[in-house]
Amino acid sequence: MNFTSQYYSGTGINHDREEFSGSFKVEALPGTQTKAYRYIATRTADNTKVHEEVGLITINENNEPALHVHMEEMPCTTVHKLKEANEKRWVFEYKGHNQLAGFTSELVFEFDGDKFKYLHRWAMGGEVSDKSWCLLEPK
């Protein structure tokens, strides 16, 4: 993944079709391939925070890319495994079990030069579909 900046901001649409502003901070952990990030979405209409997540984009014990993420709406951290990747697009997927049985999620990073689109696709008991996205540009 090629983040060109540490700070990004932009606008998007959430699963309730509300406009929001997004902020994304990413930093490399020294001496590792791991990147830590924090993403916050604030509804435009009333300036209320509607989503917050923290994540680690890292390599697992099998030397495979993985995304460990905790979203404030979720009861636990989820580990999204790399589904597909190329220079411009990275897709991480999660299929729920135990307390998250039936939940499926994809987190997608689509890069275009210095900016990227962060997309969350998810479903409960069905096929994933686009639920929210944010186009983020360097600050």
- Cα separation, 43 vs 23, in Å, equals 12
- Cα separation, 34 vs 67, in Å, equals 10
The pair of structure tokens assigned to 18 is 């509300």
Note the pTM of the prediction, 2 decimals. Answer: 0.94
Q: Which amino acid is at 98?
A: N
- pLDDT for 2: 86
User: Domain 7-138: what homologous superfamily?
Assistant: Calycin beta-barrel core domain (2.40.128.20)
The better pLDDT of the pair 46, 99 is held by 46
Q: Give 13's pLDDT tier (boundaries 50, 70, 90).
A: very high
In a 13 Å sphere around the CA of 105, the CA atoms on its Cβ side amount to 21
Mean of pLDDT over the chain: 95
Residues 36-74: pLDDT tens digits?
A: 999 999 999 999 999 999 999 999 999 999 999 999 999
DSSP 100: G
Rg, C-alpha atoms of the chain: 15
- pLDDT for 129: 87
